[in-house]
Amino acid sequence: MNRKSSNKVMSAAEAVERFVHDGATVGMGGQSIGRCAMALTHEIVRQGIGDLTLVGCNLSMSMDLLVGAGLARRTECGTGNLERFGTAFRWRRAIEAGTLEVEDYSHLAMASRFLAGALGLPFMPSKSLLGTDILHKQMEGGSDSFRVIDNPWNPDEPVVLLPACRPDVSIVHAQKADELGNVVIEGFTTQEPEMVRASSSVIVSCEELISSEEIRRYPDRTTVPYIFVDAVVVQPWGSYPTSTYGCYEHDAEHLRRYQVCARSGGEAYESYLREMIHERPDFDSHLDGAIGEPRRRELEESMRRLM
Amino acid sequence: MTTDDYTLEELMVVEASRHVSDWDTVMVGTGLPMVASLFALKNHAPNMCYVVETGGIAPQIVGTPSSVTDARVMHRAVRHGSLLDALGGVLQRGLADVAFLGGAQIDRFANVNSTVIGDYDSPKVRFPGSGGANDLASHAKKILIITRHEKRRFPERCDFITSPGYVDGPDGRRKAGLPSAYPEIVVITDLVVMAVDRATGCLRIERLMPGVTVEQVRNSTGFDLPAAAAAGTVEPPTEAEVRLLREEVDPGGEYLKAPE
């Protein structure tokens, strides 16, 4: 499809079917308990698209779901956790069981890899990772992802080179987009501005579809212009139970419930996947089951008070 | 006036805040480091610039954030940005005076492990990983670590070095090519305040928590731990400091448990 075509609005099911394929490297939007692309993640789980390599800086609940559903082969990231809500337990158990390949970076190292991809460069130099096992043990273990060279202008100074990271597809949840795929992310933007520009395909879900006229009136607010975007999915509450800045807070109750299931694994986890995803035709149906109107108003009000 | 009415955790926070000066640019996440930084800001460093890895610059934090993506940690910031802005444009750029980090293991050279226990390729326990910690430890001019003091947390050598301390000796960082070659590194525990001695690149006892002996600290540490010639005692907090901490910094007791 041409990225300059006029209308990219489609359902999550159509977007995921068209742009996420078995074996893909998937750039994961959001961070920790904020703005994870949960609706798009649910759709990948529902369609059972597997053998995925998941990349990002902090990978959180969306990554953990794909690992827990048996759809991930490998992760490349700086962290796997939900901060105060704990580690990403399906990820942790899969690494301990030896069923998931991992490559460790720092957050800046991953952001630098996306920057290289976004600038059309093969690699980015970094002064992080020096003197550590992130560099040395992974190099000794056969990883070809790190090189240390001397600064050409200062021969005694080591510099790390990190290869560009170019996802096949990135999945991102934003506050606003127009039907062309101009995207407005408010608040923190994680690694998404660089990751999206580095990706071959990009799916954006949004809380609100705005007019192209509004985009053109405030062009300095556009985080990602339409030439980088392939599909726009209108999905209010699309990052639930993680937050969307300015719209609603994270749902601590649901996050804790997920973490209990993820920590115990087995039938508890399978039933979470079944009840929340597989038995639901779409994300709206998941939301109807997971969160009632009064709780939605609470989380919106709670965010409003913090603005 | 110092007081006896404080918990060890409160003293750790107050002691950590003493290493933050007015006008410092401080990179912090959440948890006890956040409490210590907010305390510094309200107590003696009103011009401190708080920077969050998610890109928030100088926020006026409200309540008790549970994540670096929490709107509480972004409240009234002068700018919201990206990981690249904060970790690249502020930290790697060399503008962070102080950074806080934590970890599962800290060794004699103050290297930190937050990745695995056991072998990297078949770990016994997997932790979340570096996050921004490696970046903070690589680039900040001063590194503060707050942790509980247990023998297993202080091994001779980390199973995996996630974030660099002095690597393997007094010039370890410079040889590795780290831009911040000789930073101050201070480790604050419930027993002791340790700092890297630049002559050896190793941690040594600087000050003991009130009532704690050198023997007690050594028995809870997995490596030989020398003591500075003038090792003294950590100054208890004042009544006003404790009041500030309980009433303004963490009024809900989210991070600091009230005394029993």
How does residue B230 score in pLDDT terms, banded at 50, 70 and 90? confident
**Does B259 score more than 80 pLDDT?**
no
> Which of B27, B52, B68, B84 to mutate against chain A (most A CBs within 10 Å)?
B84
Q: Which residues from chain B sit within 8 angstroms of residue A187, using beta carbons?
A: 71, 74, 80
Q: Looking at CA atoms only, how far is residue A279 from chain B in angstroms?
A: 31
**B167-176, pLDDT tens digit by residue?**
999 999 999 9
Amino acid at B36: A
Q: Looking at CA atoms only, how far is residue B36 from chain A in angstroms?
A: 17
Name the percent of chain B lying above pLDDT 70: 99
Q: Which residues from chain A sit within 8 angstroms of residue B179, using beta carbons?
A: 127
Domains and CATH numbers, chain B: 8-249 (3.40.1080.10)
Question: What is the sign of the dihedral through the CA atoms of B52, B67, A12 and A218?
Answer: negative
- Judged by CB atoms closer than 8 Å, whether chains meet at A111 and B179 is answered as no
How does residue B229 score in pLDDT terms, banded at 50, 70 and 90? confident
Residue A165, both tokens:
């990271």
- Judged by CB atoms closer than 8 Å, whether chains meet at B55 and A189 is answered as yes
Euclidean distance between CA atoms A52 and A67, whole angstroms? 9
Q: Which residues from chain B sit within 8 angstroms of residue A98, using beta carbons?
A: 122
Spatial CA neighbour of A303 closest among B72, B76, B80: B72
What pairs with residue B49 in β-bridges?
B25
Euclidean distance between CA atoms B10 and B234, whole angstroms? 12
How does residue B260 score in pLDDT terms, banded at 50, 70 and 90? low
Say which residues have a Cβ less than 8 Å from residue B85's Cβ, sequence separation at least 6. B55, B79
- Judged by CB atoms closer than 8 Å, whether chains meet at A32 and B88 is answered as no
> Which of A67, A91, A95, A133 to mutate against chain B (most B CBs within 10 Å)?
A133
**A1-37, pLDDT tens digit by residue?**
578 778 999 999 999 999 999 999 999 999 999 999 9
- Judged by CB atoms closer than 8 Å, whether chains meet at B74 and A187 is answered as yes
DSSP H/E element including A267 = helix A266-273
Spatial CA neighbour of A146 closest among A158, A131, A134: A134
Q: How high is the ipTM of this complex?
A: 0.96
Cβ–Cβ contact B132 with A under 8 A: yes
- The answer for B 194-213 residues in CB contact with A (under 8 A) is none
Euclidean distance between CA atoms A30 and A32, whole angstroms? 7
Q: Which residues from chain A sit within 8 angstroms of residue B68, using beta carbons?
A: 31-32, 83, 188
Segments of chain A scoring below 50 in pLDDT: none
**B50-107, pLDDT tens digit by residue?**
999 999 999 998 888 889 999 999 999 999 999 999 999 999 999 999 999 988 999 9
- Judged by CB atoms closer than 8 Å, whether chains meet at B92 and A126 is answered as yes
Q: Do residues A184 and A175 make contact, with C-beta atoms less than 8 angstroms apart?
A: yes
Higher-confidence residue of B19 and B63: namely B19
The runs of H, that is alpha helices, within B50-170 are 83, 133-139
Cβ–Cβ contact B183 with A under 8 A: no
The chain B residue lying nearest A246, using CA atoms, is B71
Residue B202, both tokens:
């190793």
Mean pLDDT of B17-40: 93
Cβ–Cβ contact B252 with A under 8 A: no
The catalytic residue among B53, B150, B235, B254 is B53
- Closest in B67, B132, B172 to A108, CB measured: B132
pLDDT for the residue A1: 59
Spatial CA neighbour of B106 closest among B139, B47, B149: B149
Task: Answer yes or no: B184 catalytic.
Answer: no
How does residue B251 score in pLDDT terms, banded at 50, 70 and 90? confident
CA distances from A284 to A42, A253, A276, A289 (A): 11, 19, 11, 9
**B95-148, pLDDT tens digit by residue?**
999 999 988 999 999 999 999 999 999 999 999 999 999 999 999 999 999 999
Domains and CATH numbers, chain A: 12-108+165-306 (3.40.1080.10), 123-163 (no CATH)
